[in-house]
Amino acid sequence: MKHSLHRFSVGTLLALSGAVVVAVGCNGDSSNSVAGSDGPTTTVSPVVHQVGNAVSGKDVFRNETFGNEKFWTDAMRLPAGILAKSFTPVQALQAGLMVDSEAFASAPAAIISNADKAAILQELTTDLTPAHAPKLNNVNTTVALINANAIIGITTKDTNNDGVINIANGDKTGATCALCHTITDASVFNLPNGGSIGKRLDGRANHNLNFGALLALANNTRAYLPLLQMQLAANNNQTLGRSTTGLTKNSTEAEVDAYVSNPANYPVGTFDDTFDGNGDPNHNPALFRTDLAAPWGTEGSIARLDNFSNLVYTGLLDPTGITTTAGRAFLHQLGGAAGDEIVDSYVQVLAATNVTGYPFVTATTAASAVSGTEEAPLGVRVDNQKLLDMNAYLNSLQAPAGVVADAAAGQRGRNLFRTTGCTTCHNVDQTRPVPANIVSMKTIFPGDAPVTLAQRVPPLNPVLDTPGNIFDDKMAVVNASIRGDIRGTALPLLLDLARKPNFLHDSSVPNLDTLLNPSRGATAPHPFYFSDAAQRADMVEFLRGL
C-alpha cells in the first residue's frame, strides 16, 4: 500500500545537514521494507574509553565522594540547613529525592528501630499529613535516613571514624553521581512528580529532582556561586541565562536562595554543570549504555567518559577547585577577564562566609594533569582506577524497555523515522553507537543569530549568544571548540523517552507531540516536524517504544 509521506515543513533539512540523502518510497507488503535509511554515515569515530571492574564501579557510582562531604557539610552547610529548616521526609520526597528501601530495611536499630521502621511504612499508606504521618513530617526521621545512607546520592561518611554514622556527632554528608542519575523501582512508595522509595535503578535520569531547592536548603548556598547565574563587571554587568538579573559576590544568602529556588531559573529535573557564570541548567540525562553515547555533555565538549566523571568530582561536586592556580588558568582560558572575575568573586565569598581548608576533594596532580586538558581541566584528577571501574559499570547498565501501547502505530512511526530525514542524524537502532559528530548550532537551531560577547584564543571559538533564546546558552562558553570541534549539540541516545516530562537539553519542550508540531516554528530548536497529526501520533508512539 502506498504511504503518503509528508516531507518536513523544513524542506531544507537534508540540504542543511549535508548528510545522507534518503530515498522516499514504498514497495508494498511489509512495512519493514519501506525504503529509507537506518542512520547517518558518519566518519567521526567515538573516542573509546578504557574499562576497569564493573563491580567496584558500582560502588564508586553509588558511594564515592572523594571527600566532597567536606564541601557539602563545611562550606555549603547542607546538613545544618536541613536541621535549621526542619526538612522533613515528606519535603524530601516532594523535592524528588529517592529513598533506597534496602538501606532503610537494613539500617542498624541504633539509627532506626524496628518499631520506627514499621511505623514509617504504615505512615506511607496514609495521606502523609502531620496528623496521620508524624514521623514522615519530622526532621529527626530525615536525619535518621541520612545516617542510614538511605537517601540516594546524599552520602554520609564515618568522618570521625567511631564506627557509627551520625551527622549530629561530627560525621559529614556529601554527594554522589546517584543523586541525579538514579531512580528507584518505587516498589515501596511513589510520590507522583516527586521521589520514590524502592530498589535502586542506576543510570535512569531523575526527572523530578529539584536540585535548586536542595541548594537553597543549605545554610551557605553562596558557596555554589560559580555554578549559578552571575553578573560580572568584566561583562559590563550583562548576564546570560534564564533570569534577567545575575548574582554577584555581594548577593546575600537570601538573594542566592531566591534565585535557586525559583523553578523559572532552576527548573525541576535540571542541573547547571558549568562554572561559567551563565545560568544554563540542563535536563538530567540517562546514564546507561555509555558504551554507545560519546561524546559527553549536550555540547559534546568531552570526548572520554572518565574525563567527564573526573570533572564532575573535581569541579562540580566541589567547585572550590577552580580557585587553585591551575583552576584559575582554566577559567582564564575559557572566559578571559570574566573567568578571572568568577574566581576572584568566589574567593571573596568563601572568605566572607568563613570557608577554609579548600579545595576539599582528594585528587592528585597526575602526569597527564596539565590544567585545561580534558584529563584534568582543573589540573587534578581523582583516582584513575576508580574512574575506569565506573566506566565499566555505566557501560553495563541496560536501557529499560520502551512503552508500547499500539505496535502498529509504532511501526508506522518507525517507517516515518527512516524515510523523512530523522535518520540523517539519529540511528533508528538505539543499540548502535550514537553518531559522534556535533550537529552545528545553525542546523539544530536555525534561529541561531549570535552576537559575539568575547574573543578567545583558538581553538576556542568566540563567546557567542543568541539573545532571547536559552537553547544556545550552554554552548556560549563551554562547547566542543575546547577540543577543536564545532559549537553545536551532540546527539542523544533516544531511549527511556516515555518517562520524560519534557524534551531537549534545556527542558524547553513540554511533550513529544509538541516537539514534532510545526507550530513551534521553522526557526525553533530541533525544527523537524509533521504537520499531519496522525503522523505525529505514529512518531510519538515509535519514540515512546524505544
Residue 128 C-beta: closest distance to ligand HEC, Å: 26
Nearest to 385 by CA among 51, 48, 49, 47: 51
Q: Which residue has the cell 576497569?
A: 52
User: Does 518 interact with ligand HEC (rule: CB under 6 A)?
Assistant: no
**Do residues 64 and 447 touch, judged by C-beta distance below 8 A?**
no
Nearer to Ca ion, 262 or 365 (CB): 262
Cell of 451: 552576537
Residue 105 C-beta: closest distance to Ca ion, Å: 32
Q: How crowded is residue 166: how many other Cβ atoms within 10 Å of its Cβ? A: 18
For Ca ion, the binding residue among 318, 341, 374, 472 (CB under 5 A) is 472
Q: Name the binder of 411 from ligand HEC, Ca ion, none, CB < 5-8 A by kind.
A: none
Q: Which stretch binds Ca ion (CB under 5 A): 190-198, 221-229, 336-344, 530-538?
A: 221-229
Q: Which stretch binds ligand HEC (CB under 6 A): 111-119, 183-191, 251-259, 499-507?
A: 499-507
Rg (CA), the chain: 24
Q: Which residue has the cell 558500582?
A: 58
Q: In which element (H, E) is residue 347 found?
A: helix 337-352
User: Does 505 interact with ligand HEC (rule: CB under 6 A)?
Assistant: yes
Residue 180 C-beta: closest distance to ligand HEC, Å: 3
Residue 444 C-beta: closest distance to ligand HEC, Å: 5
Identify any residues that bridge with 440 across adjacent strands, giving them in sequence order: 488
Residue 208 C-beta: closest distance to Ca ion, Å: 21
**Do residues 97 and 145 touch, judged by C-beta distance below 8 A?**
no
As a whole number of angstroms, the distance between CA 149 and CA 221 comes to 23
Separate counts of helices (H) and strands (E) for the chain: 20, 13
Nearer to ligand HEC, 79 or 297 (CB): 297
Nearer to Ca ion, 104 or 445 (CB): 445
As a whole number of angstroms, the distance between CA 394 and CA 291 comes to 8
Site for ligand HEC in 124-153 (CB under 6 A): none
Cell of 302: 568531552
As a whole number of angstroms, the distance between CA 275 and CA 225 comes to 8
User: Does 421 interact with ligand HEC (rule: CB under 6 A)?
Assistant: yes
Strand order in the sheet with 196-198: 99-100, 196-198, 189-190
User: Does 298 interact with ligand HEC (rule: CB under 6 A)?
Assistant: yes
User: Does 494 interact with ligand HEC (rule: CB under 6 A)?
Assistant: yes
Burial tier of 5 (Cβ tally within 10 Å: 0-12, 13-18, 19+): middle
Nearer to ligand HEC, 136 or 175 (CB): 175
Q: Are strands 200-202 and 182-184 parallel, antiparallel or unpaired?
A: antiparallel
User: Does 418 interact with ligand HEC (rule: CB under 6 A)?
Assistant: no
Q: Which residue has the cell 572575575?
A: 341
- Number of residues binding to ligand HEC, judged by CB under 6 A: 49
User: Does 465 interact with Ca ion (rule: CB under 5 A)?
Assistant: yes
* 3-state SS string for 431-460: CCCCCCCEEEHHHHCCCCCCEEEECCCCCC
Residue 113 C-beta: closest distance to ligand HEC, Å: 31
Q: Name the binder of 112 from Ca ion, ligand HEC, none, CB < 5-8 A by kind.
A: none
Q: Which stretch binds ligand HEC (CB under 6 A): 164-172, 260-268, 280-288, 479-487?
A: 280-288
Q: What is the largest CA-CA distance in the chain?
A: 74
For ligand HEC, the binding residue among 104, 266, 275, 313 (CB under 6 A) is 313
For ligand HEC, the binding residue among 305, 380, 477, 524 (CB under 6 A) is 305
User: Does 426 interact with ligand HEC (rule: CB under 6 A)?
Assistant: yes
Cell of 210: 529539584
Site for ligand HEC in 215-254 (CB under 6 A): none
For Ca ion, the binding residue among 171, 272, 299, 341 (CB under 5 A) is 272
Nearest to 299 by CA among 323, 278, 328, 321: 278
As a whole number of angstroms, the distance between CA 311 and CA 66 comes to 12
The letter for the amino acid at 430 is Q
Q: Which stretch binds Ca ion (CB under 5 A): 7-15, 49-57, 266-274, 319-327?
A: 266-274
Q: Which residue has the cell 567547585?
A: 319
Q: Name the binder of 71 from ligand HEC, Ca ion, none, CB < 5-8 A by kind.
A: none
Nearer to Ca ion, 100 or 341 (CB): 341
Q: Name the binder of 221 from Ca ion, ligand HEC, none, CB < 5-8 A by kind.
A: Ca ion
Identify any residues that bridge with 48 across adjacent strands, giving them in sequence order: none
**Do residues 295 and 423 touch, judged by C-beta distance below 8 A?**
no
User: Does 330 interact with ligand HEC (rule: CB under 6 A)?
Assistant: no
Q: Taking the C-alpha atoms of 92, 93, 96 and 97 in order, what is their torsion angle to the nearest 10 degrees?
A: 60
User: Does 306 interact with Ca ion (rule: CB under 5 A)?
Assistant: no
Nearer to Ca ion, 13 or 441 (CB): 441
What is the binding site for Ca ion (CB under 5 A)?
216, 218, 221, 257, 272, 274, 276, 278, 280, 465-466, 469, 472-473
Which residues are near ligand HEC by CB under 6 A? 13, 17, 175, 177, 179-181, 211, 270-271, 273, 282, 284-285, 287, 293, 296-298, 305, 308-309, 312-313, 417, 420-422, 424-426, 439, 443-444, 474, 489, 491-492, 494, 497, 500, 503-505, 515, 526, 528, 539, 543
